[in-house]
Amino acid sequence: MKIRVVLASIVLGLLAQVQVSAQVVDCVCDSEYSVGDRVVLTGESGLGDLPVGSLGTVVCGSNAFGGNLILVDWDGYDSGHDGNGYCTCGESAGSGTSNFYVDCGVIQMFTLIECACDSEYSVGDRVTLLVDDPDDANGLPAGTAGTVLCGTSAFGDLYVSWDGWSKGHNNNFNCECQDGVDDSDNSHWIVECDQIRAGAPRTLYSEGIYGLVSIAQPFDTLILQSGQYAVNGDGSAVVVDVSDITLRVEDWRGYGTGDIAILDATGSSDRVLLVTSNASFENLVFRGGVDPGNGGAGARIEGSATFTNCQFIYNSGTGAHIYEGDPTFNGCDFKYNNATAISNGGGIASEYGDFTMNECEVSHNAATNGGGIYANLCYHSLNTVVIKGNSALEDGAGIYQVGGAGSYNNVSIRKNGANRHAGGVLLEVGASPSFTDCIVSQNTARFGGGFACYTFNMPTFTGGEISDNVASGQGGGVFCSLSTFTIEDSSVCGNAPDHIWGAWYDLGGNDFSDACGDDGDSGFCRADTNEDYNVDVLDLLYVIAVWGTDNRAGDINGDGWVDVMDLLDVIGGWG
């Protein structure tokens, strides 16, 4: 008998629970919802911290104020209330602070779309577009957020209402599963499943670099707290392989640390960064990395990345190595990288990858070839760039270009020194770059103080200056072998022992002189090797770095050799 009573109590309890869970909220929303139904927010709630796409559970309805309001317990929301005693149908009240009333017109049943995309999405889900103008949409760019309406296999996969876009339609008659929303804002468009990702673009904040990049999704903005971060503690680089993300530095904690973050790999055995996508980086310093053997100590770039206001400094290997990528550098510095024992290209090296530099500086780097820049079979565009004080154990202290084209505009190539060929620029094997409004000055080498061209090169030099370059052999300004140097509207002066050796075309408007009018005075003290208007420890370290060579920038007293006399000149000019 007792067992029967217990069983009956259990059954009655279960029935009561079922009855409660199925209790219709019949005083609002045309009795469409029941207590416990899962709903999604599809319109503006009036709450700034409750975004479209939020999920919740129906609690009750209220017509206490003559409205059509429904109380929902919102997932992850904690700025609400318990219903405040205004429930008139359904539950008598909610609990906690996760509840809030919304109008019936801004919610929908959270309903799975089973006819498309392997049932991955539901009505009201927020998504991000990954491609530009899907299916010939007009002005609908990648990165736009939208809300899923319904599914179809007739003309695509999903109908989506796209935020801030009104060049679509309002047609949902092709929906095969779920009805979508009957909007009238022309924001609807069909997309295929692989053209979107789940979730709207996010802005994520963190004080840890590895955790931040590990959770990134396309079109997210990652905000790293400014400061200094040790990387490669486990011997692995920071890897960014997610497309269309932005990694930016801000002092969002208010620590007073400015808007720069240093990613420091000093003491590790790996590079700082490996990027294989078209990510964007802002206000980062890549320092202390080591080339692990396949190029790039500060960064190895295999995608269309963009770097803005970044620094690649003090790396044991190339500052930034590009392999079949096509990055852009805006306002970046490449300084004090040393690849002499590892690879070609001290500041930048590019193998089969194009690159663009705008308002950048490449200075005081060293390599076997291409102390500043090494470009192998690629196209590169340099605009308002300074290349100075770089050194090469062999050839091309400023730039070493193998084949390919290139555009140099308003580029200053000064005080670079090579032990063999081309203190300023070395071109070989069919290179055909153009130099416009450029200055090539005070560079030194055995052959070709300013330029050295070997084997079928056809460079053009227009509207610039080739001055005060020195070769211990031939071609103080330009040395050409099996190549032709074309020059127009330029000043050629003060080069020793000669201006041009080899074949060249004079297109007119050129001014040749044995001495430059200003004696090559750049306005900087000779001891200020990095030309930052201050003679300090950086200049001292540079002289030590090029000790025992004929590096022009380190040869402060101009006697053709960097030694203790130059060190004393730096100390004498201190301050």
Q: Would you kindly state where each structural domain of the chain is located, as residue ranges?
A: 20-108, 112-198, 537-572
Which residue did the predictor score with more confidence, 546 or 490?
490
CA–CA distances in Å: residue 163 to residues 47, 141, 201, 246, 285: 18, 11, 12, 21, 36
Q: Is the peptide bond before 218 cis (omega within 30 degrees of 0)?
A: no
CB 306 within 8 A of CB 328: yes
Among 297, 276, 278, CA closest to 288: 297
Give the DSSP H/E element, type plus range, for residue 308: strand 306-308
Q: What string of DSSP letters covers 176-217?
A: SBS------SS-EEEE-GGGEEES---EEEES-HHHHHHT--
pLDDT, mean of residues 113-130: 88
Does CATH number 3.30.2010.10 belong to domain 20-108? no
**What pLDDT is stored for residue 261 in this prediction?**
97
**What pLDDT is stored for residue 1 in this prediction?**
40
Lookup: tokens for 443: 């560079």
Give the DSSP H/E element, type plus range, for residue 543: helix 537-545
Alpha-carbon 237 to chain mean position: 16
Percent of the chain with pLDDT over 70: 90
Per DSSP, the three-state class of 263 is: strand
Per DSSP, the three-state class of 567 is: helix
pLDDT in tens, 319-331: 999 999 999 999 9
Whether the predicted pLDDT of 13 surpasses 80: no
Q: Are 20-108 and 112-198 equal in CATH topology?
A: yes
State phi, psi for 136 to the nearest 5 degrees: 65, 25
CA distance 85 to 108: 24
Give the DSSP H/E element, type plus range, for residue 128: strand 126-129
The owner of tokens 């202390």 is 288
CB 211 within 8 A of CB 225: no
**What pLDDT is stored for residue 180 in this prediction?**
61
Reported pTM: 0.77
Give the DSSP H/E element, type plus range, for residue 564: helix 564-572
Confidence of residue 10 (pLDDT cuts 50, 70, 90): very low
Among 293, 292, 291, 336, CA closest to 311: 336
Does CATH number 2.30.30 belong to domain 112-198? yes
CA distance 467 to 60: 84
**What pLDDT is stored for residue 532 in this prediction?**
67
Confidence of residue 335 (pLDDT cuts 50, 70, 90): very high
Lookup: tokens for 129: 């577009």
- Cα end-to-end distance, the chain, whole Å: 102
